[in-house]
Amino acid sequence: MVRFIKWSAVVVVALLLLLLAGPLAVSLSGAHQYDSNWRTASRDSAGLAPAPEVTPEAVVQVYGARAFNWRGYFALHTWISVKQSDADYYTVYEVTGWRRPVVNARRDVPDRAWYGAAPRLIAELRGDAAEAVIPDLLQAVEDYPFSDRYVAWPGPNSNTFVAWIIRETPGLEVALPSHAVGKDYLGQTVQGSLPGGSGFQFSLGGVAGILAGPAEGFELNLLGLVLGVNPRVPALKLPGLGDWPSGQASAAGAQPERDLASDF
């Protein structure tokens, strides 16, 4: 019995070290450098979105950027932008938890830095493909079941919102990066469909779970952090690093940018 307890303790410590190794590497590498004052942190455009005034076609984009402050060592914040056909502006949809949980829908620059963290384009649809998904996407925003709740860990949070929108929008099949903590939160259900399309997922409140599919690969969720592999890319899935070394998620119509933390 004593030996079993000792080995159990060793396994637990080793597992915790493994889960924390990625966030520690991000911290030490300087890949995520945050501004402690959100009021003065950059919100500049990264130039990833086509200018709406000269782009008549519809555009749907999914973005992610390192979360604000120390949370960025562990996770991304994700959001969705939509430009209707012939519109001269984008509408940005995201969830924030500051002060009170709220689903934000506003005209805005879609590719702003997230309070100092440069965004990456995770996926993009244009033209007929974008126009086809917009009605279901907007309805999914209205139907989001956790609009009155926000929990940074393990969810529901900003990534839970984006994952919900993707699941509820046929044709918008986007495998979110594995370090989008909260994407696996399914509420009181334990089984759900995958944002990336076909496959299966089991989740216990976003704290523990497992998923597998052609786009996502294989992911094991432990304490909200993900370990896994994506043979399609190929890449390892590591806590804090996401899909490494590529830093790319597989997505329909995607034109992904490299994640800063994948550059070391």
Per-residue three-class SS string for the chain: CHHHHHHHHHHHHHHHHHHHHHHHHHHHHCCCCCCCCCCCCCCCECCCCCCHHHCCCCEEEEEEEECCHHHHHCCEEEEEEEECCCCCCCEEEEEECCCCCEEEEEECCCCECECCECCEEEEEEEHHHHHHHHHHHHHHHHHCCCCCCCCCCCCCCHHHHHHHHHHCCCCCCECCCCCCCCCCCCCCCCEEEECCEEEEEEEECCCEEEEEECCCEEEEEECCEEEEEECCCCEEEECCCEEECCCCCCECCCCCCCCHHHHC
Residue 4 has pLDDT above 60, yes or no: no
pLDDT at residue 8 above 90? no
Tell me if 221 sits within 8 A of 186, measured CB to CB.
no
147-197 tens-digit pLDDT: 989 999 999 999 999 999 999 999 999 999 999 999 999 999 999 999 998
CA-closest candidate to residue 55, choices 30, 77, 88, 100: 88
Q: Does position 264 have pLDDT exceeding 50, yes or no?
A: no
**Local confidence band at 122 (pLDDT 50, 70, 90 cut-offs):** very high
Task: State the pLDDT confidence band at 67, using cuts at 50, 70 and 90.
Answer: very high
Q: What is the mean pLDDT of residues 86-103?
A: 87
Residue 263: the pLDDT is 34
Mean pLDDT of 133-147: 97
CA dist., res. 113 & res. 250, Å (int): 22
Rounded mean pLDDT of 88-99? 89
What percent of the chain has a predicted confidence (pLDDT) above 90? 69
Q: At what angle do helices 158-167 and 127-143 cross, to 10 degrees?
A: 120
Q: What is the pLDDT of residues 206-252, one digit of tens each?
A: 999 999 999 999 999 999 999 999 998 889 999 999 988 865 444 44
**pLDDT for residue 99:** 59
Task: Give the pLDDT score at 246.
Answer: 61
What pLDDT score does 10 carry? 59
Whole-angstrom CA distances from 160 to 83, 95, 148, 206, 240 are 22, 9, 13, 9, 17
C-alpha–C-alpha distance, residues 167 and 79, integer Å: 14
Q: Is the pLDDT of residue 144 over 70?
A: yes
pTM of the predicted model as reported, rounded to 2 decimal places: 0.89
Bridge-partner residues for 64, per DSSP? Answer: 78, 120
Q: What are 32-46's pLDDT values in tens digits?
A: 776 668 788 899 999
